[in-house]
Amino acid sequence: MTIFLKNKHTLQVDDFFFKCCIGKNGTTQIKQEGDHKTPKGTFGIENLYFRKDRLEMPRTSLKCIEITKNHGWCDDLNFPKKYNRLIKRNAHIKHEKLLRSDHKYDFLIPIKYNFENPKIGRGSCIFIHLTNNYKPTEGCIALKLKDFQIMLKLINKKTKIKII
């Protein structure tokens, strides 16, 4: 199955069309760290990370990983071996905290953009995550909880996402 980002407001999953939001500066072929753009292309998806303290484990065939206070996603240009990877939080390594006080990361799926042999500075932390207001993201794709839950029932580890 392939998920399609049809435009900056529509994500198609099978026969479902979900309202979504993307990076506040649109999409790009040449992503750079911090440019607030969503990368164009076709990419695999990773596991589902979720907040067990806030949501029940969803019905999905994806591997589900509980987010803990030690989880971070490295976006530090000075750590090439950890860049764009799940890490144990470290005060010396710049990272995106996965355990947040808001609800954006109660569910998140990393998009495998710049994932295999990542190029430093070409972008990291590109997720499908939650939104409650459809405000533009820093480069991720965000959906409302009910739509995310429907999507989780339809996708699997072989699913691709095509960002046009």
Domain of residue 119, CATH code: 2.40.440.10
CB-based contact 106:131 (threshold 8 Å) = no
Report which secondary-structure segment, H or E, holds 163: strand 160-163
Say whether pTM exceeds 0.75.
yes
Structural domain including 94 reads 2-163
Cα–Cα distances in Å, from 158 out to 20, 102, 112, 122?
A: 22, 30, 12, 24
Question: Please, which residues have CB within 8 angstroms of residue 160's CB and are 6 or more apart in sequence?
Answer: 1, 2, 3, 42, 43, 44, 45
| CA 4/CA 145 separation, integer angstroms | 18
Mean pLDDT of 33-60: 96
Residue pLDDT, tens place only, 54-104: 999 999 999 999 999 999 999 999 999 999 999 999 999 999 999 999 999
Query: Residue 72's pLDDT is what?
Result: 97
Chain segment 113-151, per-residue pLDDT in tens: 999 999 999 999 999 999 999 999 999 999 999 999 999
Express the helix, strand and coil content of the chain in percent, nearest 5 each. Answer: 5, 35, 60
> Residue 159: what pLDDT?
98
DSSP secondary structure string for all residues of 120-148: TTS----EEEE-SS---BSS-EEE-HHHH
In degrees and rounded to multiples of 5, residue 33 shows phi and psi of -55, 125
Structural domain tally of the chain?
1
Instruction: Identify the pLDDT of residue 130.
Output: 98
Largest pairwise CA distance in the chain: 45
